[in-house]
Amino acid sequence: MVRTHTTLDLDRDLLRDAAEALGTTRTTDTVHAALRDVVARRRRAWLARRDFSELEPALPDLRTSRIEAVERQNELGGS
SS3 content of the chain, % helix, strand, coil (to 5): 70, 0, 30
Determine the pLDDT at residue 39. 97
Determine the pLDDT at residue 38. 97
Mean pLDDT of 46-52: 91
What count of other Cβ atoms lies within 10 Å of the Cβ of residue 19?
Answer: 18
Note if the pTM is more than 0.85.
Answer: no
Q: Between helices 27-49 and 12-22, what is the axis angle to 10°?
A: 70
Q: Is residue 25 scored above 90 in pLDDT? A: yes
Determine the pLDDT at residue 78. 62
